[in-house]
Structure 1
Amino acid sequence: MARLLQAARELITDAGPGVALDEIARHAGVGNATLYRHFPTRADLLVAVYSDEIADLCRDGAELAKAEQPLDALFTWLEKFIVHLATKRPLALAATEEPSNRRTPLFEEWHTSITTAADVLVDRARAALRPDITTTDVLTLATGVALAVGADADHTHRLVTLFRTGLASREAAADERSAQPDP
Protein backbone atom coordinates (compact mmCIF):
# COMPACT_ATOMS: atom_id res chain seq x y z
CA MET A 1 0.00 0.00 0.00
CA ALA A 2 2.89 2.39 0.75
CA ARG A 3 4.16 1.98 -2.83
CA LEU A 4 0.71 2.84 -4.19
CA LEU A 5 0.46 5.94 -2.03
CA GLN A 6 3.96 7.07 -2.99
CA ALA A 7 3.26 6.50 -6.68
CA ALA A 8 -0.05 8.34 -6.41
CA ARG A 9 1.59 11.21 -4.57
CA GLU A 10 4.28 11.58 -7.25
CA LEU A 11 1.92 11.35 -10.21
CA ILE A 12 -0.72 13.60 -8.67
CA THR A 13 2.00 16.18 -8.00
CA ASP A 14 3.03 16.03 -11.66
CA ALA A 15 -0.30 15.54 -13.44
CA GLY A 16 -2.99 16.52 -10.94
CA PRO A 17 -5.70 14.51 -9.20
CA GLY A 18 -7.20 13.35 -12.51
CA VAL A 19 -4.23 11.11 -13.31
CA ALA A 20 -5.30 7.69 -14.58
CA LEU A 21 -5.51 5.04 -11.88
CA ASP A 22 -3.96 2.50 -14.27
CA GLU A 23 -0.94 4.78 -14.57
CA ILE A 24 -0.62 4.94 -10.78
CA ALA A 25 -0.74 1.14 -10.53
CA ARG A 26 1.95 0.82 -13.24
CA HIS A 27 4.13 3.45 -11.56
CA ALA A 28 3.84 1.55 -8.27
CA GLY A 29 4.73 -1.72 -10.01
CA VAL A 30 1.44 -3.43 -9.12
CA GLY A 31 -1.61 -4.55 -11.02
CA ASN A 32 -4.93 -2.74 -11.18
CA ALA A 33 -6.52 -5.37 -8.93
CA THR A 34 -4.06 -4.53 -6.16
CA LEU A 35 -4.83 -0.82 -6.48
CA TYR A 36 -8.59 -1.42 -6.38
CA ARG A 37 -8.29 -3.86 -3.48
CA HIS A 38 -6.72 -1.11 -1.36
CA PHE A 39 -8.58 1.83 -2.89
CA PRO A 40 -11.94 0.81 -4.39
CA THR A 41 -12.57 4.31 -5.78
CA ARG A 42 -10.53 7.27 -6.99
CA ALA A 43 -11.93 9.23 -4.04
CA ASP A 44 -10.56 6.64 -1.60
CA LEU A 45 -7.10 7.02 -3.09
CA LEU A 46 -7.24 10.83 -3.16
CA VAL A 47 -8.38 10.91 0.47
CA ALA A 48 -5.51 8.63 1.51
CA VAL A 49 -2.93 10.72 -0.35
CA TYR A 50 -4.22 14.02 1.00
CA SER A 51 -4.52 12.63 4.52
CA ASP A 52 -0.81 11.82 4.37
CA GLU A 53 -0.07 15.36 3.16
CA ILE A 54 -1.99 16.85 6.09
CA ALA A 55 -0.28 14.51 8.55
CA ASP A 56 3.13 15.60 7.21
CA LEU A 57 2.25 19.29 7.53
CA CYS A 58 0.97 18.85 11.09
CA ARG A 59 4.01 16.74 12.02
CA ASP A 60 6.22 19.57 10.75
CA GLY A 61 4.26 21.96 12.97
CA ALA A 62 4.73 19.75 16.02
CA GLU A 63 8.48 19.55 15.38
CA LEU A 64 8.76 23.30 14.87
CA ALA A 65 6.80 23.90 18.08
CA LYS A 66 9.87 22.56 19.93
CA ALA A 67 12.19 25.16 18.38
CA GLU A 68 13.96 27.71 20.55
CA GLN A 69 12.73 30.68 18.49
CA PRO A 70 8.92 30.51 18.46
CA LEU A 71 8.44 33.37 16.00
CA ASP A 72 10.89 31.82 13.53
CA ALA A 73 9.14 28.47 13.99
CA LEU A 74 5.73 30.00 13.28
CA PHE A 75 6.85 31.66 10.07
CA THR A 76 8.83 28.64 8.90
CA TRP A 77 5.67 26.57 9.27
CA LEU A 78 3.55 29.26 7.60
CA GLU A 79 5.79 29.10 4.52
CA LYS A 80 5.29 25.32 4.47
CA PHE A 81 1.53 25.81 4.89
CA ILE A 82 1.41 28.34 2.04
CA VAL A 83 3.33 26.04 -0.31
CA HIS A 84 1.11 23.14 0.77
CA LEU A 85 -2.04 25.09 0.09
CA ALA A 86 -0.80 26.45 -3.23
CA THR A 87 0.28 23.05 -4.51
CA LYS A 88 -2.19 20.66 -2.86
CA ARG A 89 -5.43 22.63 -3.13
CA PRO A 90 -6.64 20.82 -6.26
CA LEU A 91 -6.05 17.49 -4.50
CA ALA A 92 -7.92 18.65 -1.40
CA LEU A 93 -10.86 19.85 -3.47
CA ALA A 94 -10.95 16.66 -5.55
CA ALA A 95 -10.91 14.55 -2.40
CA THR A 96 -13.56 16.46 -0.47
CA GLU A 97 -16.14 18.22 -2.62
CA GLU A 98 -19.56 16.67 -2.75
CA PRO A 99 -21.92 17.18 -5.69
CA SER A 100 -23.64 19.92 -3.69
CA ASN A 101 -20.25 21.70 -3.48
CA ARG A 102 -20.28 21.45 0.29
CA ARG A 103 -17.18 20.21 2.03
CA THR A 104 -17.29 16.80 3.66
CA PRO A 105 -16.76 16.11 7.36
CA LEU A 106 -13.30 14.84 6.40
CA PHE A 107 -12.44 18.29 5.03
CA GLU A 108 -13.50 19.76 8.38
CA GLU A 109 -11.31 17.21 10.17
CA TRP A 110 -8.30 18.24 8.09
CA HIS A 111 -9.07 21.91 8.69
CA THR A 112 -9.21 21.25 12.44
CA SER A 113 -5.84 19.45 12.33
CA ILE A 114 -4.20 22.37 10.56
CA THR A 115 -5.79 24.91 12.89
CA THR A 116 -4.63 22.93 15.92
CA ALA A 117 -1.05 22.83 14.62
CA ALA A 118 -1.17 26.56 13.92
CA ASP A 119 -2.69 27.28 17.37
CA VAL A 120 0.30 25.73 19.10
CA LEU A 121 2.76 27.76 17.02
CA VAL A 122 0.83 31.02 17.42
CA ASP A 123 0.51 30.48 21.18
CA ARG A 124 4.26 29.86 21.50
CA ALA A 125 5.01 33.01 19.48
CA ARG A 126 2.38 35.08 21.32
CA ALA A 127 4.92 37.34 23.11
CA ALA A 128 6.36 38.49 19.75
CA LEU A 129 3.00 39.04 18.04
CA ARG A 130 0.61 41.93 18.18
CA PRO A 131 -1.76 41.22 21.07
CA ASP A 132 -4.87 41.21 18.88
CA ILE A 133 -3.63 38.52 16.43
CA THR A 134 -5.56 35.25 16.34
CA THR A 135 -4.77 31.93 14.71
CA THR A 136 -7.68 32.56 12.36
CA ASP A 137 -6.08 35.87 11.31
CA VAL A 138 -2.77 34.15 10.64
CA LEU A 139 -4.28 31.30 8.63
CA THR A 140 -6.54 33.63 6.66
CA LEU A 141 -3.64 35.87 5.67
CA ALA A 142 -1.48 32.85 4.81
CA THR A 143 -4.29 31.46 2.66
CA GLY A 144 -4.51 34.78 0.85
CA VAL A 145 -0.78 34.64 0.13
CA ALA A 146 -1.10 31.06 -1.17
CA LEU A 147 -3.97 31.95 -3.47
CA ALA A 148 -2.23 35.10 -4.67
CA VAL A 149 1.23 33.73 -5.49
CA GLY A 150 0.71 30.03 -6.03
CA ALA A 151 3.84 27.94 -5.62
CA ASP A 152 6.41 30.64 -6.48
CA ALA A 153 8.88 30.10 -3.62
CA ASP A 154 10.68 33.44 -3.92
CA HIS A 155 7.48 35.47 -4.00
CA THR A 156 6.05 33.40 -1.15
CA HIS A 157 9.13 34.08 0.97
CA ARG A 158 8.93 37.81 0.26
CA LEU A 159 5.25 38.02 1.18
CA VAL A 160 5.77 35.93 4.30
CA THR A 161 8.54 38.33 5.34
CA LEU A 162 6.15 41.27 4.86
CA PHE A 163 3.42 39.32 6.60
CA ARG A 164 5.76 38.68 9.56
CA THR A 165 6.54 42.36 9.97
CA GLY A 166 2.84 43.21 10.00
CA LEU A 167 1.98 40.64 12.67
CA ALA A 168 4.88 41.28 14.98
CA SER A 169 4.47 43.45 18.04
CA ARG A 170 5.97 46.91 17.68
CA GLU A 171 8.95 45.88 19.80
CA ALA A 172 9.59 42.71 17.80
CA ALA A 173 9.21 44.58 14.50
CA ALA A 174 11.74 47.19 15.64
CA ASP A 175 14.13 44.40 16.67
CA GLU A 176 13.69 42.71 13.28
CA ARG A 177 14.34 45.96 11.39
CA SER A 178 17.47 46.71 13.42
CA ALA A 179 18.79 43.19 12.81
CA GLN A 180 18.50 43.56 9.00
CA PRO A 181 21.65 44.73 7.17
CA ASP A 182 21.58 48.21 5.65
CA PRO A 183 21.10 48.26 1.86
Structure 2
Amino acid sequence: MAERPRRADARRNYDELVEQARIVFAESGVDASLDEIARRAGVASGTLYRHFPTRIDLVEVVLAGQIEELVALGRRLLVADDEFEALVTWLRATMVHGLTYRGLSAAMLSSALDRDTATVARWHAELFEVGSELLARAARAGVVDPDVPAADVLKLVSAVSAAAQEAPDDAERLLALVLNGLRRR
Protein backbone atom coordinates (compact mmCIF):
# COMPACT_ATOMS: atom_id res chain seq x y z
CA MET A 1 0.00 0.00 0.00
CA ALA A 2 1.44 3.38 -1.02
CA GLU A 3 2.02 6.00 1.65
CA ARG A 4 -0.36 8.94 1.43
CA PRO A 5 1.22 12.30 0.68
CA ARG A 6 1.62 14.50 3.75
CA ARG A 7 -0.39 17.64 4.21
CA ALA A 8 1.64 20.85 3.89
CA ASP A 9 1.48 21.56 7.64
CA ALA A 10 2.55 18.00 8.49
CA ARG A 11 5.48 18.31 6.08
CA ARG A 12 6.49 21.64 7.63
CA ASN A 13 6.31 20.08 11.12
CA TYR A 14 8.40 17.13 9.99
CA ASP A 15 11.03 19.37 8.38
CA GLU A 16 11.18 21.65 11.42
CA LEU A 17 11.53 18.69 13.78
CA VAL A 18 14.45 17.36 11.74
CA GLU A 19 16.12 20.79 11.62
CA GLN A 20 15.70 21.35 15.36
CA ALA A 21 16.91 17.82 16.10
CA ARG A 22 20.02 18.51 14.02
CA ILE A 23 20.71 21.64 16.06
CA VAL A 24 19.90 20.13 19.47
CA PHE A 25 21.91 16.97 18.76
CA ALA A 26 24.87 19.19 17.76
CA GLU A 27 24.55 21.13 21.01
CA SER A 28 23.87 18.29 23.41
CA GLY A 29 24.44 14.95 21.69
CA VAL A 30 21.91 12.33 20.67
CA ASP A 31 20.67 11.83 24.22
CA ALA A 32 19.22 15.36 24.19
CA SER A 33 15.65 15.88 25.30
CA LEU A 34 13.10 15.02 22.64
CA ASP A 35 10.66 17.34 24.41
CA GLU A 36 13.18 20.17 23.88
CA ILE A 37 13.33 19.34 20.17
CA ALA A 38 9.53 19.43 19.94
CA ARG A 39 9.40 22.72 21.88
CA ARG A 40 11.97 24.36 19.59
CA ALA A 41 10.09 23.09 16.55
CA GLY A 42 6.91 24.67 17.91
CA VAL A 43 4.96 21.42 18.09
CA ALA A 44 3.62 19.16 20.81
CA SER A 45 5.63 16.11 21.85
CA GLY A 46 2.86 13.94 20.39
CA THR A 47 3.58 15.40 16.96
CA LEU A 48 7.24 14.45 17.31
CA TYR A 49 6.34 10.89 18.28
CA ARG A 50 3.80 10.62 15.46
CA HIS A 51 6.57 11.35 12.97
CA PHE A 52 9.34 9.57 14.90
CA PRO A 53 8.03 6.78 17.15
CA THR A 54 11.49 6.19 18.64
CA ARG A 55 14.56 8.33 19.28
CA ILE A 56 16.53 6.23 16.83
CA ASP A 57 14.00 7.00 14.06
CA LEU A 58 14.81 10.69 14.49
CA VAL A 59 18.55 10.05 14.83
CA GLU A 60 18.49 8.03 11.60
CA VAL A 61 16.88 10.85 9.63
CA VAL A 62 19.34 13.42 10.99
CA LEU A 63 22.32 11.19 10.30
CA ALA A 64 21.07 10.41 6.77
CA GLY A 65 21.03 14.12 5.99
CA GLN A 66 24.53 14.61 7.35
CA ILE A 67 25.89 11.66 5.38
CA GLU A 68 24.27 12.98 2.20
CA GLU A 69 25.93 16.36 2.77
CA LEU A 70 29.38 14.80 3.31
CA VAL A 71 29.06 12.65 0.20
CA ALA A 72 27.85 15.59 -1.89
CA LEU A 73 30.74 17.74 -0.64
CA GLY A 74 33.21 15.01 -1.54
CA ARG A 75 31.79 14.69 -5.03
CA ARG A 76 31.99 18.43 -5.59
CA LEU A 77 35.61 18.39 -4.40
CA LEU A 78 36.54 15.71 -6.94
CA VAL A 79 36.88 18.47 -9.53
CA ALA A 80 38.70 21.02 -7.35
CA ASP A 81 41.97 22.37 -8.71
CA ASP A 82 44.08 21.57 -5.65
CA GLU A 83 43.85 17.82 -5.00
CA PHE A 84 45.45 17.99 -1.55
CA GLU A 85 43.26 20.87 -0.36
CA ALA A 86 40.18 19.03 -1.68
CA LEU A 87 41.14 15.98 0.38
CA VAL A 88 41.89 18.13 3.45
CA THR A 89 38.56 19.96 3.12
CA TRP A 90 36.62 16.70 3.01
CA LEU A 91 38.58 15.05 5.82
CA ARG A 92 38.08 18.16 7.97
CA ALA A 93 34.33 18.14 7.26
CA THR A 94 34.23 14.45 8.17
CA MET A 95 36.08 15.16 11.42
CA VAL A 96 33.79 18.08 12.27
CA HIS A 97 30.77 15.86 11.64
CA GLY A 98 32.20 13.33 14.08
CA LEU A 99 32.78 16.05 16.66
CA THR A 100 29.52 17.89 16.18
CA TYR A 101 27.23 14.90 16.20
CA ARG A 102 28.96 13.06 19.01
CA GLY A 103 27.24 9.81 19.67
CA LEU A 104 25.17 9.93 16.49
CA SER A 105 27.10 7.31 14.54
CA ALA A 106 27.51 5.16 17.64
CA ALA A 107 23.78 5.37 18.28
CA MET A 108 23.07 4.18 14.76
CA LEU A 109 25.61 1.37 14.95
CA SER A 110 24.35 0.18 18.32
CA SER A 111 20.79 0.10 17.01
CA ALA A 112 21.80 -1.71 13.81
CA LEU A 113 21.19 -5.06 15.46
CA ASP A 114 17.52 -4.18 15.75
CA ARG A 115 17.18 -2.29 12.47
CA ASP A 116 18.07 -2.43 8.81
CA THR A 117 21.85 -2.79 8.86
CA ALA A 118 21.92 -2.28 5.10
CA THR A 119 21.31 1.45 5.63
CA VAL A 120 24.34 1.86 7.88
CA ALA A 121 26.44 -0.30 5.53
CA ARG A 122 25.35 1.84 2.56
CA TRP A 123 26.32 5.04 4.39
CA HIS A 124 29.75 3.65 5.21
CA ALA A 125 30.20 2.49 1.63
CA GLU A 126 29.26 5.92 0.23
CA LEU A 127 31.63 7.73 2.59
CA PHE A 128 34.41 5.25 1.90
CA GLU A 129 33.90 5.55 -1.86
CA VAL A 130 34.13 9.33 -1.97
CA GLY A 131 37.00 9.43 0.54
CA SER A 132 38.87 6.81 -1.48
CA GLU A 133 38.33 8.75 -4.70
CA LEU A 134 39.64 11.96 -3.14
CA LEU A 135 42.68 10.14 -1.75
CA ALA A 136 43.38 8.37 -5.06
CA ARG A 137 43.10 11.65 -6.94
CA ALA A 138 45.62 13.26 -4.56
CA ALA A 139 47.92 10.23 -4.94
CA ARG A 140 47.75 10.47 -8.76
CA ALA A 141 48.69 14.15 -8.46
CA GLY A 142 51.72 13.10 -6.41
CA VAL A 143 50.75 15.07 -3.30
CA VAL A 144 50.09 12.12 -0.99
CA ASP A 145 51.80 8.80 -0.52
CA PRO A 146 50.16 6.37 -2.99
CA ASP A 147 50.68 3.41 -0.65
CA VAL A 148 48.44 4.72 2.15
CA PRO A 149 45.19 2.74 2.28
CA ALA A 150 42.02 4.87 2.28
CA ALA A 151 40.61 2.75 5.11
CA ASP A 152 43.55 3.74 7.32
CA VAL A 153 43.09 7.45 6.61
CA LEU A 154 39.37 7.30 7.36
CA LYS A 155 39.99 5.34 10.56
CA LEU A 156 42.52 7.94 11.68
CA VAL A 157 40.10 10.81 11.04
CA SER A 158 37.42 8.93 12.96
CA ALA A 159 39.92 8.36 15.77
CA VAL A 160 40.73 12.10 15.83
CA SER A 161 37.02 12.87 16.22
CA ALA A 162 36.71 10.34 19.02
CA ALA A 163 39.88 11.52 20.77
CA ALA A 164 38.80 15.16 20.59
CA GLN A 165 35.33 14.59 22.05
CA GLU A 166 36.49 15.71 25.48
CA ALA A 167 38.89 18.35 24.14
CA PRO A 168 37.51 19.72 20.83
CA ASP A 169 40.31 22.30 20.65
CA ASP A 170 42.73 19.40 20.04
CA ALA A 171 40.92 18.29 16.86
CA GLU A 172 42.70 20.56 14.37
CA ARG A 173 46.13 19.79 15.86
CA LEU A 174 45.46 16.05 15.72
CA LEU A 175 44.13 16.27 12.16
CA ALA A 176 47.26 18.22 11.16
CA LEU A 177 49.38 15.33 12.44
CA VAL A 178 47.43 12.91 10.25
CA LEU A 179 47.70 15.20 7.23
CA ASN A 180 51.41 15.79 7.74
CA GLY A 181 51.96 12.04 7.76
CA LEU A 182 49.90 11.66 4.61
CA ARG A 183 51.47 14.42 2.53
CA ARG A 184 54.19 13.38 0.15
CA ARG A 185 57.40 15.33 0.56
TM range (shorter): 0.7 to 0.9
**What SS does the aligned partner of 1:106 have?**
helix
Structure-2 change in CA distance of 1:155 and 1:98 (3 Å): closer
The AA in structure 2 aligned to 1:62 is R
CA contact (8 A) 1:85 1:143 kept: yes
CA distance in 1, matches of 2:16, 2:113: 33
Identity percentage of aligned residues: 36
Instruction: Report the counterpart of residue 93 of structure 1 in structure 2.
Output: 106
CA distance in 1, matches of 2:115, 2:171: 29
Structure-2 change in CA distance of 1:99 and 1:135 (3 Å): closer
The AA in structure 1 aligned to 2:34 is L
Shift of 1:106: 2.5
| Aligned match for 2:96, one of 83, 98, 105 | 83
Is 2:166 aligned against 1:166? Answer: no
Instruction: Report the counterpart of residue 148 of structure 2 in structure 1.
Output: 133
Is 2:41 aligned against 1:28? Answer: yes
Mean CA deviation greater in 47-56 or 78-87: 78-87
The AA in structure 1 aligned to 2:25 is I
CA contact (8 A) 2:95 2:161 kept: yes
RMSD: 2.4
Aligned length: 170
Task: Please give the residue correspondences for 1:1-183 in structure 2 after superposition, counting only pairs within 5 Å.
Answer: 1-98=14-111, 104-126=117-139, 127-150=142-165, 155-169=170-184, 173=185
**What SS does the aligned partner of 2:46 have?**
helix
| Runs (5+) with no aligned partner, structure 1 | 174-183
CA distance in 2, matches of 1:122, 1:75: 10
Instruction: Give the TM-score of the pair, scaled to structure 1.
Output: 0.81
Structure-2 change in CA distance of 1:4 and 1:101 (3 Å): closer
Instruction: Give the TM-score of the pair, scaled to structure 2.
Output: 0.80
Shift of 1:148: 2.2
CA distance in 1, matches of 2:108, 2:156: 24
Shift of 1:4: 0.7
The AA in structure 2 aligned to 1:140 is K
CA distance in 2, matches of 1:17, 1:11: 8
Shift of 1:18: 1.9
| Runs (5+) with no aligned partner, structure 2 | 1-13
